[in-house]
Structure 1
Amino acid sequence: MRRDELPAPEAGLLMTHFLTVADVARSRAFYADLLGGEVVLEENPCIVRLANGWIIMNPGGGPTPDKPGVTLTPPADPATAHSFLNLRVADIAACHREWSAKGARFLTPPLDRKAELRCYLRDPDGYLIEVGQATGMLSGVLADPPAGTG
């Protein structure tokens, strides 16, 4: 895997979309085979480059240190949406400082999750937004499997 295949900006930020899915292989096939995306990473998380963006997919799981009290689940009701915006930045510390100074309320400061540094905040309606900076992922270090999967 090459750096230019990953959602990891060298400056500024780019937007990806994270989906909590019940079956990673099924979802990966949908976005890659049916919609024509390119599989960049098979799992943990699954990353599919689609057009000028990326879809990131993982199964649900319980709270993590950077999103305490938050559990991710795939949609149980097709009339209800279950996803969050995932912003990738080149310098998460600077982003955290700048956005905090502007009034953003993060759940935690950026935390090291091996493959990346990440933290979460909520928009005014309460939607969860992940802000992440690829770190270990760039040298092949992947995140731990999602909670409850192994």
Structure 2
Amino acid sequence: MGAEADYFQPPGGVILTHLLIVRDVDRSREFYERVLGAECVRERMPAVLRFHNSYIVINTEGGPTDDKPDVQARAPRDAGTLSSAMNIRVTDVRAVYEQWRARGGEFLTEPKDHGVEIRCYLRDPDGYLIELGQGTGILAEMGLAGA
């Protein structure tokens, strides 16, 4: 089996993924590959991208289906309202910030130190917010400093 084996046949029987409903699957897939460095394991219907130890599933907008008869799948209509965000934790937020910026990622601000963590945010092509953060003081609070 290839790199996608744990998505389609999860070890232990379960894997958590993050579904994004987008307006243009190709544009979003290209963003996650180019900027974040995700690996595409399925191109569409839905697109599946491996991102380190998790997966991003990308599918297009659409109407109800037989298993969700009252649900419309829609990309965010208002980038100023937050209802869901991906949180990506790294060991060196400034290095990843610079790498993703060089790849075309447009951040809202540079990384900001909030005592317990250093974090910054960028948006994908549909306006989904992506938090990029590094634990700092929170590690000491949890007794994990130097671990």
Give the TM-score taking structure 1 as reference length.
0.50
Q: Which residue of 2 aligns with 1:73?
A: 74
Paired with 2:23 and 2:83, the residues of 1 have a C-alpha distance of 12
Q: Any idea what the Cα deviations from partners look like across 1:33-91, whole Å, max 9, x if unmatched?
A: 1100100001110011001100000111111111110001111101234669xxxxxxx
Partner of 1:62: 63
In structure 1, the gaps of 5 or more residues are: 85-150
Match of 1:38 in 2: 39
Q: List structure 1 segments (4+ residues) > 2 angstroms apart after TM superposition.
A: 5-8, 79-84
- Number of residues of Structure 1 aligned to a counterpart in Structure 2: 84
Residues in 2 aligned to 1:74 and 1:30: alpha-carbon distance in whole angstroms: 15
TM-score, normalised on structure 2? Answer: 0.51
> Aligned ranges for residues 1-150 of structure 1 at < 5 Å?
2=2, 4=5, 6-81=7-82
RMSD: 2.2
Larger radius of gyration: 2
Quote the residue 1:144 is aligned against: none
State whether residues 42 and 48 of structure 2, in contact with CA within 8 Å, keep that contact through their aligned partners in structure 1.
Answer: yes
Question: Which ranges in structure 2 are unaligned for 5 or more consecutive residues?
Answer: 86-147
Shift of 1:28: 0.4
In structure 1, the partner of 2:117 is: none
Give aligned-pair identity as a percent. Answer: 43
